[in-house]
Structure 1
């Protein structure tokens, strides 16, 4: 097998690194071309629209779940071996972390994966925000924020309900679940056709979603040939971003694995896609207020993603693909927080400011009319 040759040639860790980089590059390239973004979809939906951004997200989401379930149906993947189902998870952390992440996602104008993709195209706002995200995520995992994360995660876990498997908890068979997912995929493709997002964006959105079962298959295959234990996982960007950051601060070779290959792979893939299509462009902050907003959002995402156990992709797509209850709780909380933050920060406050300025201008005009002519 090719994977056995790869492991023999580069070692187990090297094979995981290469596999993570390749899958990451595919994800980065396709995400850059499809404009896949949970924030954009959530805002579009919260504003009473069901358009192209929503269609793209739904295609990615339903493709990831359908592909993962088909892997399971053919015996190529066992969902219960994944971390999200194999060990207790925090329900309180999922809810609170999802709310924080959704708020930060709107403030930073993109989730963690979107920031990584945008930074590869020359967006310096996204690059700096992504670095802040990784630093805060690492501080939440092993640093000074970890006690707060533990305190918020401990009150309610899946131990209290016996399982984190959504299908098991509600007694839903995999056949029924797969049927609904396939119907959802057809509906999302129909929406894409109706909204005329184009064949290329539809194909690349489908490819983004397919990266999730591809990653599941790869890491599952590595568990059968590696001499050392390999974590069964797919795509996520909170933990991997923190690990990639620590790679540059640790002894060389000490943290080589799938996660560390993933983040650079996404960056390289997005860069190549943008280069080929002529979309590279340097962009910076528009002022101090803009910078504060982006960095605050990135910090909220870093802590929230680590608290929830996943980001918009890690929980919202990867965790959802194996029907982990905490992942669906996180995803639901992200949508609620994103819609609320958009309404308050980007709609209500600007409208109130505009009305205040209009009244001020009107008042000045009245004072000018009352003043005697010279």
Structure 2
């Protein structure tokens, strides 16, 4: 790693790590149709079906890979933002609920919108842009005072007490055993749902992409004399950074996020073309634009308040056992389920 740093520099290596991680995530998220919104819609309809099985495999494979790496000493996530910095329980709760409502309205979470955009879905492109602009407004713009106020209602200090295993007094080895047992159960459930092997393998690889991000940015951080932030797959922050970089600078900033977003897009595009599914899809009478736009606003603000999107908080943060991430994804499930039930067949 030191040789690569000397030859290419940290920014370029972060860009490449993000790009490769994004390619793996995008191709396999498209192939498996991984989507939290689809999983919650199934459960809200009273049927735990194939989309729920895919989500379980992704989440549990990421949890198993990351926690096993920590257990055997290959990875240390104590400096990760989701654990080291001050967390907001109110942000996770309120932001998660808003995000859950938004992804039902928009018929897809942040990652799913990016993946669908690659196949020519104009609804996803427009909604994703609204989500990204709202997130930027919540981070540094007109919505930032509201976000900061809600964030500060109920906070918890960073450190070990922000890690779920510490809160539950659960040894790392026990966490790994629980993850293995859960993953095995998820595989049995997936086979009962008649999922094809390629979909199951793709779900594994989506979870593996979460591990890739954590592991390789950790290796870079350990080998570099510069301060390198270890991170993994998330979409709201990187999407805003990528968009602002393209708008405000001649040479886009090189970092993990600006590699991740194009990587996901290109990976999904490649699979969509190979499967013959790439085609333009527009707004239609049964897909009203105002509903998608409102969903994008809810998701953009909710993700920034919750500390991540359905993947960033729900899987990436969940895999390192961040208390606020687990609360956020639980709130997303609640918000999505209630909204789906309320809208019924219109959702």
TM-score (norm 2): 0.96
Match of 2:47 in 1: 49
1:265 to 256, 263, 266: 263
* Maintained 8 Å contact 2:78/2:159: no
2:168 to 155, 167, 170: 170
Query: Which of 144-153 and 3-12 deviates more?
Result: 3-12
Match of 1:103 in 2: 101
Task: Answer yes or no: is 1:308 the counterpart of 2:302.
Answer: no
Match of 1:152 in 2: 150
1:81 to 74, 79, 83: 79
Match of 2:125 in 1: 127
Look up the SS of the partner of 1:312 in the other structure: coil
Give the aligned CA root-mean-square deviation in angstroms: 1.7
2:5 to 4, 7, 22: 7
Deviations 1:118-137 (A, max 9, x none): 00001000011111111111
Match of 2:226 in 1: 228
Query: Which of 31-40 and 159-168 deviates more?
Result: 159-168
Structure 1: unaligned runs, 5 residues or longer: 352-374
1:30 to 14, 28, 31: 28
CA distance in 2, matches of 1:123, 1:6: 38
Runs of 4+ in structure 1 over 4 Å off = none
Match of 1:199 in 2: 197
* Maintained 8 Å contact 2:110/2:310: yes
Task: Answer yes or no: is 1:294 the counterpart of 2:284.
Answer: no
- 1:208-219 to 2 correspondences below 5 Å: 208-219=206-217
Which is higher, the Rg of structure 1 or of structure 2?
A: 1
CA distance in 2, matches of 1:178, 1:161: 21
Look up the SS of the partner of 2:344 in the other structure: helix
Match of 1:255 in 2: 253
CA distance in 2, matches of 1:299, 1:164: 29
- 1:239-250 to 2 correspondences below 5 Å: 239-250=237-248
TM-score (norm 1): 0.90
> Judging changes above 3 Å, is the alpha-carbon distance between structure 1 residues 183 and 145 closer, same or farther for their aligned structure 2 residues?
same
